Amino acid sequence: GQQVMQIPQYQHVQEGEDFTTYCNSSTTLSNIQWYKQRPGGHPVFLIQLVKSGEVKKQKRLTFQFGEAKKNSSLHITATQTTDVGTYFCAGPNTGTASKLTFGTGTRLQVTL
Amino acid sequence: DAGVTQSPTHLIKTRGQHVTLRCSPISGHKSVSWYQQVLGQGPQFIFQYYEKEERGRGNFPDRFSARQFPNYSSELNVNALLLGDSALYLCASSLQGWLDTQYFGPGTRLTVL
């Protein structure tokens, strides 16, 4: 079945440093969605990318969708303590079981 | 507008018992999906319903069942609870289904003793 892996599993940075998480799917995706989950909270939608090679920015966050539509990345410039949480990518599975498959997640810790 | 609501917030059950979790989607959303999130892992898809019909089922045993009501609210039922069913159960609503943005509720934390 479809697998969505993310690296790294965990990253600890100092405030002001940059952060990147990478998402790789075993199958081609029609779109990729990114979610953020704060400790003790629930996943919150960040963005959806649809087109091959698409790049979208949200303030300090930059999202990319790979040319082959099998990978994606999220880059945060100059991290802040409010960026703490786990970042998940998620891709639709167009197989027999229509579902959204979440990645393994990258937990970001930011310290002063 | 109100977001996705779930009840109860927390629940403690013992092995072998049955549990019903409830979800109300965002007004206007016709699709509800259920996910199980074990501590330290990503959400795992359980079911998706659209217009009261099951549109997708994840790799979960038959002890898990769900339904969607005419007002688009949904229930997740789990029978014969096992210790391994302890998790955060998340409900997500969307306009039409899994290709759309999923708006998650706060979840129900289920502990099975």
In degrees, rounded to 5, the angle at the alpha carbon of residue A70 between the alpha carbons of residues A66 and A75 is 50
d(CA B97, CA B29): 9
For residue B105, the distance in angstroms to the closest alpha carbon of chain A comes to 7
Q: Is the peptide bond before A8 cis (omega within 30 degrees of 0)?
A: yes
Closest CA to B51 of B22, B93, B19, B103: B93
Q: What is the pLDDT of residue A99?
A: 78
The stretch B85-95 carries a mean pLDDT of: 95
Residue B11 pLDDT > 90, yes or no?
yes
* DSSP one-letter code for B97: S
d(CA A66, CA B97): 24
d(CA A69, CA A25): 9
CB of A49 within 8 A of CB of A56? yes
Closest CA to A29 of A56, A63, A62, A68: A68
B56 in contact with chain A, both atoms CB, cutoff 8 A: yes
Closest CA to B43 of B52, B53, B33, B51: B33
Q: What is the pLDDT of residue A98?
A: 61
Residue B102 pLDDT > 90, yes or no?
no
Touching B: A residues 63-102, CB under 8 Å: 88, 90, 92-93, 97-102
CB of A46 within 8 A of CB of A108? no
Give helix then strand counts, H and E, for chain B: 0, 11
CB of A110 within 8 A of CB of A81? yes
CB of A87 within 8 A of CB of A35? yes
| H/E element, A69 | none
A90/B103 Cβ within 8 A:
no
Q: In a mutagenesis test of the A interface, which of B23, B102, B103 is the best target, namely the one with the most A β-carbons within 10 Å? A: B102
Alpha helix stretches (DSSP H) within B13-111: none
The stretch B34-61 carries a mean pLDDT of: 92
d(CA B33, CA B84): 21
Residue B96 pLDDT > 90, yes or no?
no
Q: What is the pLDDT of residue B1?
A: 60
Could you list the pLDDT tens digit for every one of the 112 residues in chain A? 788 999 999 999 999 999 999 999 999 988 999 999 999 999 999 999 999 999 999 999 999 999 999 999 999 999 999 999 999 999 987 664 467 899 999 999 999 9
Q: How sure is the predictor about B100, in pLDDT bands with cuts at 50, 70 and 90?
A: confident
